[in-house]
Structure 1
Amino acid sequence: MSILFPETPEFSGALYRPSRVEADVMDLEIEGSLPAAIRGAFYQVSPDPQYPPLLGQDIFFNGDGMISAFFFADGKASLRRRYVQTARLLAQRREGRSLNGIYRNTYTNDPLAAANNTTANTAVLKYGDVLLALKEDALPYAMDPQTLETLGVYDWNGQIKSATFTAHPKIDPLTGNLLAFSYEAKGDATPDMAYFEISPDGKLLHEIWFEAPYAAMVHDCAVTPNYIVLPFIPLTVDVERMKRGGQHFQWQPDLPQLFAVLPRRGSTSDVRWFKGPADGFQGHTLNAFEENGLIHVDMPVTGGNVFYFFPQEDGFVPSPETLSSSLHRWTFDLNATSDRVEPRPLNHYPCEFPRVDDRYIGQPYEHGFMLAFDPTRPYRAENGPMPFQFFNLLTHFNLKTGVSDSWFAGDSECFQEPIFVPRSADAPEGDGYVIALLNHIADYSSELVVLDSRDMAAGPVARIKIPLRMRMSLHGSWSPAE
């Protein structure tokens, strides 16, 4: 390859320099003792561009989907990495160069680019007998859970008619059903939304189609036994802007944080809309539950635009240090006559990529696991400016007591999204292990760390050495052994 990747923050440094390595590494080195109870697979995906950007620059979210699978059994761990063989990636490989322009803007693509523009790079989830590589701009790709062979676009045998599919479906622990949604469901900038409930054997059980007031990013959702809540981030979409070569999304500080609340077994007419404060960025959901006729949704919220690469119309982007962030609770009263909702903070520090004990999705719960940032902790100046998505704490937060138990890995370390593994199938909620990738910025290396959820501050019980650098990822999931 004669063209080099640009030396911009999105393509350089220990976190964002492309890795581009497909590999099989058996029996990884382990420092400490890996609990034998950890049996299964940890899947995660990173945007990892195969080729330098067509336009000379790009954003992190536009990289090709690279799936990493860590397989655990008998106190040992192995790693397998493969690209998702999307139509987009295969077209690039045929031409030996990037064919895709601005993020989610096909009007800026090379004429030789594939019609299907997705990178399948945001989340990965095993459901049924396939591994789903998900990105919210298209239907998912299915892969073999063991070999990571790409099987093709997955639409549940033609049952899902939407143009798009969320990267953040939920599995209902009570039924095993997959709960999912689509935004821009009829194509770019359409206000159409859809909700789907799919059984473990792949049958579409229920769907609801409705229109939102406008097309905007709906990245995550929250579910309870009876409802799904969809948070609309004030990043709106405009096709005419895209045709002019602009970004798919644009921040609108005047818009409220908007929520759609749907009964899971309801219809279009049952959708309720709620509005929160303007100029707020709702992150990923931690969990939700019903209590005395109310629906509680817990998620990090930031006061302003987090995504500097999607500025508002006049180009303004707030400085990161001016943005306050913490975990908030939104409470929706479906009997209320008002459509206003105000969140209340649950903690007082920046946090993101929250995870719950999956056995308690949609249920009253106590324990959350997340990445956090403490600006008072030391950071080595030789590392240069703190990169985007820099988190220096791995945290267990007790929502009932308000107590945080965190591990700080050092002055040159950055965590990637954690997962939680129960100590046993019948262990109490939150009793188990927290697993996360840890990037060492100073020496461009990575390892997988395993912590006991009962004592996070003590640090890892096992450090799994990875003989290659893992680019910053987005999301992952745990699949227990059969």
Structure 2
Amino acid sequence: LWKRWGKLPKHSANTSVLALPDKLLALWEGDRPYRLDLETLDTEGKDDLSQLQPGMPYSAHPKVDAQTGEIFNFGTILGAKPKLCLYKSDRTGKIIQMGEHVLKSVSIIHDFVLAGPYLIFFIPPIKLKVFPILLGTQCFSDALEWQPNGATQILIFDRQTLSLVSQQEAPPWFQWHFSNGFMDEQGNLAIDFARYEDFQTNRFLKEVPSGKTQTKALSQLWRSHLNPKTGELIDHYPLIEQHSEFPIVSPLEVGKPARYTYLSMHRPGTPLGEDLLNVIARWDNETETLEMGDPGLGSYPTEPLYVPNPETEEKGWVLTVIYHSSSHTSEVWIYDAHYLSDSPVCRLELPSVIPIGFHGTFANEHKKLGF
């Protein structure tokens, strides 16, 4: 045990990636990103994006405004006075503006949402025991404690000034991931996200490496309406009753109303807690219908990636990496986004197995991973 004292968690750089015109960033919410060579994927070292100082993390879920090219992100600084740092970058990734907000307590903030002129955070009632992490006696996930009698903190920031507009408390829930957000016709904010009743997902994720999962951690796609001026939660309801996670929209519609949400789900009949997510799906927000792409029993897709058709914004493709457990092989499957229940339009066999992972991105090679 003494060998671990004072050792901070290793920078795993394993959560997501951000494609920039001249580099690829490997992201992990506990530290600055690692920079990779575009051609060889060789690691070149940590990148400060022209502004990040040591100890200033850069989260794994940046939001890109497709029209302006602006990139928004955040980082949480631990300590006696925990801080939420906000970052605005230009399309090259260079940070051009920073903001700061002192938090009431240390929690886990994994994702946020861009909705029109606002940046929104839902901070769950989770207590992070900082000292065991700093001493090296506990890993990050073991140091998290769910507070069932606590409240979810809602923070709304102006995207132009990065200053706090409003904050409010709401009933307790937990979320890892947001789908999207936008301002509706009434001037309120609509926020879609994968909502858990509590923090049982933490226990489930600990079980995954063992190959035997049993914890029932139900996540549903919910929508919340907020008053941006006060932070008040106006209403809050599920869009999809079935278990789902990793919701996304087209990158062209981030921060704006989007008809379709793409996500990972369980196929009908899968017992909750006993298997990984095994289908991808498309939710139609207008018709309130669900369409699934099912790779078959024993095959597991990664989260869906939506790739717009450059010739028309109304069409696109959905990409996923499939792991076939029976043959211990992997493929890339490409679906027509409007016909997800049909067979994929393309299947690409990979030379080696790609393990089940977290997040990814798509970038055009001829644009050198540009936007």
TM over 0.5: yes
**C-alpha distance in structure 2 between counterparts of 1:262 and 1:401, whole Å:** 32
Partner of 2:158: 263
Whether 1:252 and 2:150 are equivalent positions in the alignment is no
User: 2:318 is matched with which residue: 427, 434, 446?
Assistant: 434
Secondary structure at the residue paired with 2:348?
A: strand
Q: Give the conservation status (yes or no) of the 8 Å contact 1:276–1:341.
A: no
**C-alpha distance in structure 1 between counterparts of 2:321 and 2:97, whole Å:** 37
Partner of 1:87: none
Q: Give the conservation status (yes or no) of the 8 Å contact 1:395–1:407.
A: yes
User: 1:273 is matched with which residue: 167, 171, 174?
Assistant: 167
Deviation per CA, 1:440-460, whole angstroms, max 9, x where unpaired? 223322211111111111121
What is the Cα deviation at residue 226 of structure 1? Answer: 1.1
Whether 1:222 and 2:113 are equivalent positions in the alignment is yes
Whether 1:131 and 2:17 are equivalent positions in the alignment is no
**C-alpha distance in structure 2 between counterparts of 1:203 and 1:406, whole Å:** 39
**C-alpha distance in structure 1 between counterparts of 2:130 and 2:232, whole Å:** 29
What is the Cα deviation at residue 309 of structure 1? Answer: 6.8
Partner of 1:352: 245
Secondary structure at the residue paired with 2:225?
A: strand
Structure 1 pair 108–218 and aligned structure 2 pair: CA distance change class (3 A):
same
User: 2:58 is matched with which residue: 153, 165, 177?
Assistant: 165
Secondary structure at the residue paired with 2:252?
A: helix
Structure 1 pair 303–439 and aligned structure 2 pair: CA distance change class (3 A):
same
Q: Give the conservation status (yes or no) of the 8 Å contact 2:304–2:318.
A: yes
The residue type paired with residue 137 of structure 2 is G
**C-alpha distance in structure 1 between counterparts of 2:359 and 2:131, whole Å:** 31
Deviation per CA, 1:143-162, whole angstroms, max 9, x where unpaired? 11221011211112345565
| Pairs within 5 Å for 1:442-461 | 442-461=326-345
Q: Give the conservation status (yes or no) of the 8 Å contact 1:139–1:165.
A: yes
What is the Cα deviation at residue 255 of structure 1? Answer: 2.3
Deviation per CA, 1:275-314, whole angstroms, max 9, x where unpaired? 3322x22131111111232111111101122110799xxx
| Pairs within 5 Å for 1:143-222 | 143-158=36-51, 163-183=56-76, 185=77, 187=78, 190-222=81-113
Secondary structure at the residue paired with 1:152?
A: strand
**C-alpha distance in structure 2 between counterparts of 1:360 and 1:420, whole Å:** 11
The residue type paired with residue 5 of structure 2 is Y
Partner of 1:239: 130
Whether 1:466 and 2:364 are equivalent positions in the alignment is no
**C-alpha distance in structure 1 between counterparts of 2:308 and 2:26, whole Å:** 24
Structure 1 pair 378–467 and aligned structure 2 pair: CA distance change class (3 A):
farther
Structure 1 pair 310–240 and aligned structure 2 pair: CA distance change class (3 A):
farther
Q: Give the conservation status (yes or no) of the 8 Å contact 2:280–2:301.
A: yes
Q: Give the conservation status (yes or no) of the 8 Å contact 2:83–2:103.
A: yes
What is the Cα deviation at residue 253 of structure 1? Answer: 2.3
- TM-score, normalised to structure 2, is 0.87
What is the Cα deviation at residue 426 of structure 1? Answer: 2.9
Structure 1 pair 285–167 and aligned structure 2 pair: CA distance change class (3 A):
same
**C-alpha distance in structure 2 between counterparts of 1:310 and 1:354, whole Å:** 18
Secondary structure at the residue paired with 2:39?
A: coil
Structure 1 pair 170–207 and aligned structure 2 pair: CA distance change class (3 A):
same
**C-alpha distance in structure 2 between counterparts of 1:174 and 1:349, whole Å:** 33
Partner of 1:333: 227
**C-alpha distance in structure 1 between counterparts of 2:362 and 2:226, whole Å:** 30
What is the Cα deviation at residue 221 of structure 1? Answer: 1.0
**C-alpha distance in structure 2 between counterparts of 1:459 and 1:377, whole Å:** 21
What is the Cα deviation at residue 107 of structure 1? Answer: 3.3
Deviation per CA, 1:422-446, whole angstroms, max 9, x where unpaired? 2224331xx2111101112233222
The residue type paired with residue 223 of structure 2 is R
**C-alpha distance in structure 2 between counterparts of 1:130 and 1:455, whole Å:** 34
Deviation per CA, 1:327-373, whole angstroms, max 9, x where unpaired? 1011110344x744542111111111112110111111101111111
**C-alpha distance in structure 2 between counterparts of 1:124 and 1:202, whole Å:** 12
Structure 1 pair 240–283 and aligned structure 2 pair: CA distance change class (3 A):
closer
Partner of 1:424: 310
Q: Give the conservation status (yes or no) of the 8 Å contact 2:227–2:233.
A: no
| Highest RCO, 1 vs 2 (Cα 8 Å, sep ≥ 6) | 1
Partner of 2:210: none
**C-alpha distance in structure 1 between counterparts of 2:54 and 2:85, whole Å:** 10
The residue type paired with residue 296 of structure 2 is G
User: 1:393 is matched with which residue: 262, 279, 288?
Assistant: 279
Q: Rg: which structure is higher?
A: 1
- TM-score, normalised to structure 1, is 0.68
Secondary structure at the residue paired with 1:136?
A: coil
Structure 1 pair 226–423 and aligned structure 2 pair: CA distance change class (3 A):
same
**C-alpha distance in structure 1 between counterparts of 2:79 and 2:343, whole Å:** 45
What is the Cα deviation at residue 235 of structure 1? Answer: 3.1
The total of aligned residue pairs comes to 354
User: 1:343 is matched with which residue: 220, 236, 239?
Assistant: 236
